[in-house]
Structure 1
Amino acid sequence: MKVTVIGGSQGTGARVAELARDAGHEVTVLSRSGRAPEGVVSVTGDATDPAVARRAVEGSDAVVVTVGGAKGVSRQRTAVTRAVITAMAGTGVRRLVVQSSLGAGDSGVQLPLPLRLLMKVVLAAPLADHNEQESAVRASGLDWTLVRPTGLTAKPATGRWRTLQVGEAGHLGGTIPRADLAAYLLEVFGDETLVGRAVGISS
């Protein structure tokens, strides 16, 4: 499989790229810095530019967006995601997996009430960006999946996690290691049952 990671120079994206490479996939990473794990193709450029995004996604079987916010930039995640959607539509690439955040959209119900209230206050701006990002994904017409992690940590991978879709019983915890999130994102690429779904995830 040919996989493109948007925002793969560090954090979750870099870990997704490493895991995909180690699994034998052909991996391309798009980042502004040009940094990428060893053994993958690196595309340097501004991911909000549809021409740059097109260069990265063309010929891919799956695209994952793992970008965070940018200092002093409003709605960075949304801008990147919209450019990627435009690029995918123009190149015929269908499978899109986007890292959002628990608390976005209708997923607040998956959090315990105290944590839900805290996130609304502390993460109001990032969640607004994720809400707009998710709206763009849902309207894209692509084969999309939204993955909504709880708080990310740098702890070692456990190989275990819990996922919930809105409407399923229960609540998710407060954190998940980036390495576990990356492993789950890689699983999602090939899971057709998750097309058109939004999934919350925590340890």
Structure 2
Amino acid sequence: MKITIIGGSQGTGAELARLASAAGHEVTVLSRSGSAPAGARSITGSATDPASAAAAVTGADAVVVTVGGAKGVRHQRAAVTAEIVTAMEQAGVRRLVVQSSLGAGDSARQLPGVLRWITPLLLASPLADHNAQEAAVMSSGLDWTIVRPTGLTRKPSTGAWTALEVGQPGTLRGTITRADLAAYLLQVVQDPSTIGAAIGISNS
């Protein structure tokens, strides 16, 4: 499978690139730094630049967006995602998986205990960015899945997580390792049953 990762030079995106390459997938990483894990093809550029976005997604079977915010840039995640959606539509690439955050949309109810109330207050600005990001995804005609992790950690993989759509019984815990989130993203990108779903995830 040809997988393009937007923001794959570090963090969850880099974890995903390593896992996907090790599993035999053909991985392309678009980042401003131009760095990528071993085994992945690197494209240097900004994902908000139409030419860079087009070069990254053309020919892909699936695109995964894992970008974070940018200092001093309002709604960076939303701007990147909107440009990638446009590039995918123009290139005829349909499968899109986007890393958002638990608390976006109507997902705060999935948070445990007091986090349900304080997260929307403490993370108001990034959640507003994620809300705009999710709106761009949901209004597209693509085969999309949104994954909403809880707080990210750099701890080793546990191999165990809980993934829930809003409305499913249960709540999530407060954190998930980047390695486990990357493993789940790799599962989702290959699973057509997740198309059209927004899924919260934490370690079990």
SS of the residue corresponding to residue 114 of structure 2 reads helix
Is 1:21 the equivalent of 2:8? no
Is 1:35 the equivalent of 2:35? yes
Letter of the aligned partner of 2:89 in structure 1? Answer: A
Letter of the aligned partner of 1:164 in structure 2? Answer: L
SS of the residue corresponding to residue 103 of structure 2 reads coil
Using the aligned pairs only, state the percent identity. Answer: 68
Letter of the aligned partner of 1:151 in structure 2? Answer: G
How many angstroms does 1:38 deviate by?
A: 1.1
Counterpart Cα distance in 1 of 2:134 and 2:55: 23
Q: Is the 8 A contact 2:7 2:65 kept in 1?
A: yes
Please, which runs of 5 or more residues in structure 1 have no aligned partner?
A: none
- Give the match for residue 157 of structure 2: 157
- Give the match for residue 93 of structure 1: 93
How many angstroms does 1:148 deviate by?
A: 0.2
Is 1:137 the equivalent of 2:137? yes
Is 1:60 the equivalent of 2:57? no
Is 1:185 the equivalent of 2:192? no
TM superposition outliers: structure 1 runs of 4+ over 2 Å: none
Letter of the aligned partner of 1:30 in structure 2? Answer: L
Residue by residue, what CA displacement relative to the aligned partner does 1:141-174 show, whole Å, maximum 9, x if unpaired? Answer: 1000000000000000011100110111111000
Is 1:83 the equivalent of 2:83? yes
Q: Is the 8 A contact 2:58 2:91 kept in 1?
A: yes
- Give the match for residue 49 of structure 2: 49
The equivalences for 1:158-177 within 5 A come to 158-177=158-177
How many angstroms does 1:112 deviate by?
A: 2.2
How many angstroms does 1:67 deviate by?
A: 0.2
TM-score normalized with structure 1 length: 0.99
Residue by residue, what CA displacement relative to the aligned partner does 1:65-98 show, whole Å, maximum 9, x if unpaired? Answer: 0000000000000000001001000100000000
How many angstroms does 1:39 deviate by?
A: 1.5
- Give the match for residue 200 of structure 2: 200
Equivalenced residues, count: 203
Q: Is the 8 A contact 2:147 2:201 kept in 1?
A: yes
How many angstroms does 1:121 deviate by?
A: 1.4
How many angstroms does 1:48 deviate by?
A: 0.8
Q: Is the 8 A contact 2:108 2:120 kept in 1?
A: no
Q: Is the 8 A contact 2:29 2:43 kept in 1?
A: yes
TM-score normalized with structure 2 length: 0.98
Letter of the aligned partner of 1:11 in structure 2? Answer: G
Alpha-carbon RMSD: 0.6
